[in-house]
Structure 1
Amino acid sequence: MKHLLLLFLAASAHAQDDMQRVEISGSATQALRRNDTAAKIVIGRADIEQYGDSTVTSLLKRQPGITISGSEVRMRGLGAGYTQLLINGEPAPQGMSIDSVAPELIERIEILRTASAEYSAQAMAGSINVILRRSTRPQRDIKLAYENLQGIDSPAATLQVAGRDDALAYGLTGTISDSGFRNTSGTTEQTRDPAALRDIADLNISRQAKLNLAPRLNWSLDGGDTLAWQNLLDVVRTRAHGDSYETDVSGPATAYPLNHWRSASRTNFLRSGLTWTHNLSAGKLTAKLGWDYNHRNTDYLFQGAAADATPRLARSVISSANDDSVTTSGKYLSRIGAVHSLALGWDGADTRRGEVRQQHDSAADGAFLGELLQAYQARVRRMALFAQDEWDVTPGLQAYLGLRWETLDTRTEGAALTPVRNRAGVFSPVAQMMWKLPDQERDQIRLALARTYKAPPTRDLLPRRYTVNNGNSPATPDVQGNPDLRPELAWGLDAAYESYFAQNGSLSISAYARSIRDVTVQRLFQQNGTWVTTPANDGKASTMGVEFDMRARMSTLLPGAPPIDLRANAARNWSRLDAVPGPGNRLATQTPLSANIGMDYQTSAAWTLGLNAGIQTGGTVCVSDRLSSYTGVTRTLDSYALWKIDRKRQLRFALLNMLHQQQLAGQAYDDGVYAITRNSTTPGRVGIRAVYEQQL
C-alpha cells in the first residue's frame, strides 16, 4: 500500500499550479431537481464530499427514502433488485455493488423515484443513477485519506487529472485504498426436539486492497460530431478469516463446535463504453456500444473441530463466477415545434454468467470424504424499444409520456440439469406530470404512473448450492437458485408536493403505491435431511409509503438565527404479501421507517462544522407461516469538521457511529414439532476519518 501511495504522489508532482476546482453548486443541484419533469433528488460534489465518505452507501444513508442493509442500497425500504442501479444512465452489471465505485470517481448521483421509458423499467422502487466525472476543464487534484472503523486502519489516495489538447479532451480519476473491518458477534441458539441451548462467539476479519480507475477521452469531430470513450476499472483483492467458538449450555453440540475459515478472492471488473453523437438538421442522434467484464475467483478453506479441539473436517472450495455483457443503446432526439421534445431509441444487452464450484472434503488424517463439482451457465438477452415525449402543455404545466417494450430471454444449463429457457415481454407505459401552482411559481405538484418489473438476477437462476458448513437449520439453511424464476411485474403511482424558497430552501412531501404480481419469495424445505431455501414466484403483494424532505437555512425560519443549514427527512413504508399469513407479512427486505436530521454551520471562512443523526427501524417479518426474522433498530450519529487551510488546501475530520450502538438480529422457526430460535448481537465502535485535499 505504501508503494501505491508513493506512485500517486510522484504522478502528481508534475502537475501545474494554476488549476481551479470545478463542482456543481447547491443551487445547480436544486435547479436540476426543480425543473426536471421527472421527480428526482440530485446529490452534487459538495454533498458527496461533505463527510469525506469512503463508500457510496455511507453518503446515501443520509438521503431521503434511502436505507442501507450491509452494502445493499434500498429505496422505499426495498432492495434485492427492486432498486435499480445505473452508471451513466445504463444498468450496472448484475451483482455489482455500488460500493465498487469510489465516491471520488463520481460527479453527481441522481435518485429517481419513478421509471422512465429511456432507462430500463427494472425500477420498481426507483433508480439510483451514478454519473461519473466528465469534466474536461484543466485540473489537478490529490486527496489523501485515513479511516479507522471497527479498529482497522484504512488508508486511501485519489488523483484527478483533466485537460484538453485541441480537439481532444482527457481525464483520469484514480483511487487506491487498503480497507478492512473487524466484526465480533454473539449468538444464542435454542432448539426443541432435540432440546439444546448454546452460545456462539464469532470473530470475522477482512482486508481489501482496491484500485479504481475512470479514464475518459472526448473527441470533437468535424461537422460538430463528438466521440466519447468512458471507462471504469475496479480491481479488488480480498483476504478474510474467521473463528467460531460454541459453548453448549445444554443438549447436544453441533458437528463442529470449534471452527475456523479463511478465504482469498480476486475480482476484476471493467466497463468500457463508446458514445457517438451526431447532429442532424432536425435533431440529434446518440449511439452507444459497451462491454462489461466481471470475473471473481475465490479460494476457501473451512476447518471444523470437536469441543476438545480435535480436528474433524477440512473442506476446501475453489469457485469462480464470471459475468460478461455486450450492450448497445441509442436515442434520436428532436424538438417538434416549441412545446414537444420527442425521443426514440433502443436499449439491449447480451449477458452470460458462468459459475464453477469444486469442493473437496477430507478427515483430520487426510482420508478422502467426498468431492462435489458444480458448473452452470446462464444467458440473458434483453432488448427494448422506447418512445417518449416531453411536452410543455402550458408555461406552468409539463407532461411526460413514454412507452417501452422490453423482452427478456433467459437460458440456464449445467451438469445434471435439463436446459431451462424462459421468455418474457414487458410493456411499460409511463406518464408523468409537473404542475406549477398558479401565482405560486415556487410551489409545484407531481404525479406519475408507470409499469415496472424486477427481473431475476442471473445468480438466482443458477441452481448452484451455497452450503452452510456447520449447524444447518431452518434459521441457517443452504441457499440454491431456481432456473424457473419469472420477472415480477408492478403498476405504480407516485405523487408529490414540492416548495422551493429562499437560499436554496426546499420542502417535499411525497407518497407512492405499488401493486406487484409474481412476487419472489424464499421457499424453505428439507432435502435428504438438509434445510434448503430457494427463490420462487408466489402470488401478489402491495406496498405503499410516504416521504418527507426539507432543507432550509435556519435564519429563513427564525429571523436572527445563526447561518445554520438544516436538513431533515423521513420515510414510512408499508407492504403486504398475500402468500404469507399476517401479522408481519410484509416484504422481507422492506425497512418500515427511516429518518435523518442534520445541520451544517460555517463558523468562519475557514471552518465548517456539521452533524447528522439517523434512525432505521426493522421489526419482525413473517417469511412463511413457520419462519420469521427480526432486525433491530439502527441509530447513527456522525459529525465532521472542515478546515479550509487556504484557497487550494483543506482538511476534513469526521467522527462516525458516535452512538456505537449494537446491532440485533434474529430468526425463529416452529413447525409444531421442531423449533429453533437464533438471536445475535453485534457491538459497534466509534470510527474516525481524516481527509486532506489539495489542488496542484
Structure 2
Amino acid sequence: MFRFLFLLFILEAFFQQIIYAQNPGEAKVGRIAGKLTDATTQKPVEFASVMVLRPQDSSLVSGALTKEDGQFVIEKIAFGNYIIKIQSIGYETFKKAEINLTAEKPFYILKDVKIVSTATSTEEVIIEGEKRLIQTSIDKKIFNVSQTLVTTGGTAKDVLEQVPSVSVDNEGNISLRGSNNVTIFIDGKPSTLSGSLDNIPSNAIERVELMTNPSAKYDPQGMAGIINIVLKKERKPGYNGNISLNIGSRNKANSSASINYNYGKINLSGMYSFRYSENYSFGSSFRKQYLDDKTFFLNQENDGNTISNTHMAKLGLDYNINSKNSLGFSFTYNYNLRRQDEDLQYKEWIEPGTGFDAYARENFLNDWGNAWDGSLNYTHKFKKEGSEISFNGSVNKSYDVEDRASEWLNTSPRLDYNSRYEQQRTINSNNSIISILQADYVTPSKKENRFESGYKTTFRQFDNDFDGKQYDTIGLIWVDKSRLSNRFIYKEQVHAGYVNYAGKYKKWGYQTGLRAEQTFINTLQVVDDTANNNSYFNLFPSAYLSRKLTESQEMQLSYTRRINRPGLGTLNPFPDYADPLNLRTGNPNLKPENIDAYELGYVMHGKKMTFSSTAYARRTFNQITRLRRIDTQGISITTFSNINNSSSYGLELISTNNWKPWLSTVASANIYRTELTGTVGQKELSRGNFSYIAKISSNIKLPKKTELQLSYNYRGPQIFPQGTMKPMHGLDAAFKAQVLKGKGTLSVTASDVLNTRKFAVTSIDENFEQEFIRKWETRVVFVGFSYRFGNAKPIMQNRKRNAGDENSGGGGDMGF
C-alpha cells in the first residue's frame, strides 16, 4: 500500500504536467545565431565550439559547431539570460555576456564575431582550465579532484585519501570523520564496483561528493554519510579525448584512453583503462593469553606479495530527443586477476614451562572476477520552468572466485613426521546483483521554493559459496571437508519514498523532508539449512536551516536520521579458516544501527581564500562493533556484536588560500571525540578518547608551465571497545610539466615519500593482550605522460586561480 500511494502520487503529478504542457500557447524558446571569422585573415573559422552557458554557475545549456562558412545556429533555447563562449584550437576564447531571450526578442544574432589567433596575441593563454577546488550546497560538499597531481597513476582509494576528513588505511578500509560506516556510491548509485575501488583509475574520476548529513532524497545507509565518486563525462561540442601512460617502481604500470563526441542531439563517450601492479606486504603479531596461572605466548610473522591485473571499460550515450525530453545510457565493465603468495611463521610457548612449538604456513591465492554496471534514464521537462520528472533503472552484477591453497608444516621436534604436514584448499565464489528502479519529481513552488518527491526500490542478492578440501597424504587425493565448506545467501529489499520542501525567506533558507523505508532481509545458511528473516520499517526525517550573514558569509544548521544495516561479512556465521589460529565469523542476529546526526556550519568566501567550519555530533544506537576472544585452545576468534550506544562529536575545519599567483594551499583538520558505552559479555564497557585527522596540500606554479604539489596527511589514534588503533601519517609529492603546446603533460609522482604509513592495533581484554602491525608497499614512484586531442578546445581561464568555494551546489544527478 505504501509503495502504491507514492507511485500514484508521482503518476498524478506527471499527467497533470503533461496536460498543462499541451495547452495551446506560444513555445517559450528562442534561437541564437551568428558568424565567426579570423580577426587577422577575415576568413571564416570552421568547427569552432559555440557554447551557451548559464550565468549563475557557467553550466552548459546547449551548443554547436561552426560550419565551413563560419556560421552557426543554436535552436530551442528556453527564454532567459545566458553567456556565449566560443573556443577553437589556436585562438583566444571569445566570451559574450548578457544574452537575453524573451517573448518580445526570441532571436539573438551575433554579428561579425572576430576571434584572435594565439600566434598574434601578446597575452598568455592558459590551456586546461581549472575548476574551483571546493563547492558547497545546503546538503553536500563537492571536491573537484581531477587536478590533484599526487594521485597520478593511482586509484580511487588514492584520490579519497586526498579529500578532507576521509581516511584510507593500509587494509583499504575507508572512513569519514573517523567512522568507517560510510556508504560508497559510483555516479550517484550503489555499485558492485564500490567494493573494488583499486580497480578504478584516478584519472577516470572527475569529483568526489561528501554528504555527511544527506537530505531525505538520498539513501540513509551509513553512519558517517555518503561518499559519491563521479566519473568523468565530457560534454564539449565536437570530439575530444585523452590518452595516458604511467610506469611505476617495482613492476607497476597503468594506461588509459578516453574519447567523447558531441554533435547536435547526441553525446557519445568511451573510456578504457588497464592496470598492472606488484605489491609486497609484511606484518607481525604478538599475543599474551592468561589462563590457569600460566601465560601463553604466540608470535606471528608474515610476508606476502600480490600481483594484480585490471581492465575497465565504460560507454555512455546521451540523446536529447527535443528540448523537453532526453535519454541516457551507460555501461561499465571491469575484469580483474589477482595472485597472492603469503608466508606465515608461528611460534608458541608457555611460561612457566619449557620448549616451544613452531609452525609454518604458506598461502597461495588465485583470484579472478568481473563486474558490470548498466543504467538507463529518461528525463521529461515540463512547460513550467524548473519542473521535471526523471526515471532511472540500473543493474549491477559481479562474479568473483578465490582459489586458495594452504600448506601447514609443524616444525616442532617433539612431533613425528607424519603429524607435521597438512594441505588445505578452499574455493570461494561470490555472486552478487543489485537492481534499482527509481523515479524523482521536482517542481518550483512560488518564487524561490521547491518541492521534491520520489520513490525507489532496491534489490540486493549476495551468494557466497565456500568449498573446502583437505589433501589425503596417504591416498594422495583431495577430500571434501564439511568443516571447511559453506554456502551463505543474503537477500535484501528496500522500498523507499520521500518528500522534500525547500525555500527562502529574506536571508533565511530552509529545507525539510521525510523518507520512509520498508526493509526485508532474508539469509540462508545452506549447509545446515538455517534461515533467518528480518523486516523493519523506518522513518528518516531531515531538516536544514541557513542564514546569510553577509554576501560572503553564511551559517547552516541541519539534522538527519540515518541507518547502518549489517552487511554480508558481518552476518555470515561461517568461520574464515584462512588462518586457523585467527578465525573470523559473523553474527546473523545483528540489528541495524540507528543514528541521529546534527551539524552546525559556517562558510566564508573571500577573493583569495575560503574558510568553512562544521561542528557535528552523532548518537548511535545498537552500534555494531568488532569483538575478539581467545578460546582455551589459544585460537583467536573475531566476531561482531551490538553494544548499547556510542556518541561522537567533533569540529571540521577546511581552508583554501591563494597566497600568491604561484602558490595555493588547501588545509583541513577534523578533531573529534568518540565515547562507547554498553556491555561486552558480562563486562560493562565505558571508553572514550579524542582523535584528529589533519591534511595539507600545496600547489606551487613554477616557470615554463611546470607545477609542484606536496600533500601531507596525519590521522591520530582511534579507539574501539577492546583496543586502540595507532596513528598513521604520510607525505606525497608530484611534479607536472606541460609540453607540446599544452596538449601533453609529463608527470612524476611519489607516494608515502618517507615510507611511514602502516596499520597498527593494540588489543587488551581480561585474559589477553595483543600487538598487531601490518605494512603494505606504500612508497611508489610513477613517471607518466598524457596527451589531449580533439577539435573541442579545453576550457581556458585567467592565470589568477580561484581555489575557493562555489555556492552553486554542483553535484550532478545523484538520484536518492
User: What's the TM-score, normalizing by structure 1?
Assistant: 0.86
Partner AA of 2:745 in structure 1: Q
Query: Which residue of 1 is the match for residue 41 of structure 2?
Result: none
SS where residue 136 of structure 1 aligns?
coil
Structure 1 residues 188, 44: closer, same or farther in 2, change over 3 A?
closer
Partner AA of 2:188 in structure 1: G
Contact 1:635 1:659 in 2 (8 A): no
Query: Which residue of 1 is the match for residue 434 of structure 2?
Result: 325
SS where residue 599 of structure 1 aligns?
strand
1:47-68: CA deviation from partner (whole Å, max 9, x where unpaired): 3x55415112212222221111
Q: Which of 572, 576, 589 lines up with 1:462 in the alignment?
A: 572
Contact 2:143 2:163 in 1 (8 A): no
Query: Which residue of 2 is the match for residue 653 of structure 1?
Result: 748
Q: Give, in whole Å, the separation in 2 of the partners of 1:208 and 1:107.
A: 24
Contact 1:490 1:516 in 2 (8 A): yes
SS where residue 579 of structure 1 aligns?
strand
Identity %: 15
Q: Give, in whole Å, the separation in 1 of the partners of 2:772 and 2:308.
A: 29
Q: Give, in whole Å, the separation in 2 of the partners of 1:354 and 1:118.
A: 30
1:93-113: CA deviation from partner (whole Å, max 9, x where unpaired): 497133332222222211122
Trace 1:662-677 onto structure 2 (pairs within 5 A): 663=758, 665-671=760-766, 674-677=767-770
Unpaired runs of at least 5, structure 2: 1-87, 92-125, 790-816
Q: Which of 217, 226, 229 lines up with 1:130 in the alignment?
A: 229
SS where residue 157 of structure 2 aligns?
helix
Partner AA of 2:374 in structure 1: S
Shift of 1:19: 11
Query: Which residue of 2 is the match for residue 612 of structure 1?
Result: 711
Shift of 1:278: 1.2
Structure 1 residues 22, 489: closer, same or farther in 2, change over 3 A?
farther
Q: Does 1:280 align with 2:382?
A: yes
Partner AA of 1:226 in structure 2: S
Trace 1:587-666 onto structure 2 (pairs within 5 A): 592-618=691-717, 621-623=719-721, 628-645=722-739, 646-661=741-756, 663=758, 665-666=760-761
Shift of 1:538: 2.7
Shift of 1:145: 0.9
Structure 1 residues 254, 417: closer, same or farther in 2, change over 3 A?
farther
Contact 1:479 1:533 in 2 (8 A): yes
Query: Which residue of 2 is the match for residue 559 of structure 1?
Result: none
Q: Which of 342, 355, 371 lines up with 1:242 in the alignment?
A: 342
Q: Give, in whole Å, the separation in 2 of the partners of 1:124 and 1:664.
A: 23
Structure 1 residues 218, 622: closer, same or farther in 2, change over 3 A?
closer
Q: Does 1:517 align with 2:621?
A: yes
Q: Does 1:532 align with 2:632?
A: no
Q: Does 1:695 align with 2:799?
A: no
Query: Which residue of 1 is the match for residue 520 of structure 2?
Result: 409
Q: Which of 531, 556, 566 lines up with 2:665 in the alignment?
A: 566
Q: Which moved more, 1:378-387 or 1:575-584?
A: 575-584
Partner AA of 1:377 in structure 2: I
Q: Which moved more, 1:523-532 or 1:157-166?
A: 523-532
Q: Which moved more, 1:646-655 or 1:362-371?
A: 362-371
Structure 1 residues 364, 195: closer, same or farther in 2, change over 3 A?
farther
Q: Which of 64, 74, 78 lines up with 2:179 in the alignment?
A: 78
Shift of 1:248: 5.8
Query: Which residue of 2 is the match for residue 355 of structure 1?
Result: 464
Shift of 1:362: 2.9
RMSD across aligned positions (CA): 2.8
Shift of 1:631: 2.5
Q: Give, in whole Å, the separation in 2 of the partners of 1:401 and 1:452.
A: 15
1:116-156: CA deviation from partner (whole Å, max 9, x where unpaired): 111101142121111222223321210101222xxx32101
Q: Give, in whole Å, the separation in 1 of the partners of 2:307 and 2:737.
A: 30
Contact 1:661 1:684 in 2 (8 A): no
Q: Give, in whole Å, the separation in 2 of the partners of 1:50 and 1:615.
A: 16
Q: Give, in whole Å, the separation in 1 of the partners of 2:259 and 2:89.
A: 13
Query: Which residue of 2 is the match for residue 554 of structure 1?
Result: 659
Q: Give, in whole Å, the separation in 2 of the partners of 1:272 and 1:428.
A: 29
SS where residue 570 of structure 2 aligns?
helix
Structure 1 residues 252, 661: closer, same or farther in 2, change over 3 A?
farther
Q: Which moved more, 1:97-106 or 1:348-357?
A: 97-106
User: What's the TM-score, normalizing by structure 2?
Assistant: 0.74
Q: Which moved more, 1:515-524 or 1:86-95?
A: 86-95
Q: Does 1:479 align with 2:584?
A: yes
Query: Which residue of 2 is the match for residue 7 of structure 1?
Result: none
1:614-650: CA deviation from partner (whole Å, max 9, x where unpaired): 211225x352xxxx33332212111111111131011
Shift of 1:506: 0.8
Shift of 1:679: 4.1
Trace 1:324-473 onto structure 2 (pairs within 5 A): 324-362=433-471, 364-365=473-474, 366=476, 370-371=481-482, 372-394=484-506, 396-415=507-526, 416-437=528-549, 440-470=550-580, 472=581
Q: Give, in whole Å, the separation in 1 of the partners of 2:448 and 2:356.
A: 71
Structure 1 residues 330, 363: closer, same or farther in 2, change over 3 A?
same
Query: Which residue of 1 is the match for residue 407 of structure 2?
Result: 303
Structure 1 residues 252, 241: closer, same or farther in 2, change over 3 A?
farther
Q: Which moved more, 1:606-615 or 1:248-257?
A: 248-257
Q: Does 1:227 align with 2:327?
A: yes
SS where residue 26 of structure 1 aligns?
coil
Partner AA of 1:642 in structure 2: K
Q: Give, in whole Å, the separation in 1 of the partners of 2:358 and 2:515.
A: 54
Partner AA of 1:655 in structure 2: A
Q: Which moved more, 1:355-364 or 1:236-245?
A: 355-364
SS where residue 158 of structure 2 aligns?
helix
Partner AA of 1:261 in structure 2: N
Shift of 1:308: 6.4
Contact 1:663 1:684 in 2 (8 A): no
Structure 1 residues 681, 114: closer, same or farther in 2, change over 3 A?
closer
Trace 1:13-32 onto structure 2 (pairs within 5 A): 25-27=130-132, 29-30=133-134, 32=135
1:233-257: CA deviation from partner (whole Å, max 9, x where unpaired): 2211111111123456776888761
Shift of 1:524: 4.4
Partner AA of 1:40 in structure 2: K
Unpaired runs of at least 5, structure 1: 1-16, 556-561
Trace 1:136-285 onto structure 2 (pairs within 5 A): 136-137=235-236, 138-148=239-249, 152-193=250-291, 195-197=295-297, 199-222=299-322, 224-246=324-346, 257-282=359-384, 283-285=387-389
Trace 1:485-504 onto structure 2 (pairs within 5 A): 485-503=590-608
Q: Give, in whole Å, the separation in 2 of the partners of 1:248 and 1:464.
A: 26
SS where residue 575 of structure 1 aligns?
strand
Trace 1:574-593 onto structure 2 (pairs within 5 A): 574-579=673-678, 585-586=687-688, 592-593=691-692
Structure 1 residues 669, 270: closer, same or farther in 2, change over 3 A?
same
Contact 1:607 1:641 in 2 (8 A): yes
Structure 1 residues 664, 340: closer, same or farther in 2, change over 3 A?
closer
Partner AA of 2:547 in structure 1: W
Structure 1 residues 94, 688: closer, same or farther in 2, change over 3 A?
closer
Contact 2:349 2:357 in 1 (8 A): no
Partner AA of 1:518 in structure 2: N
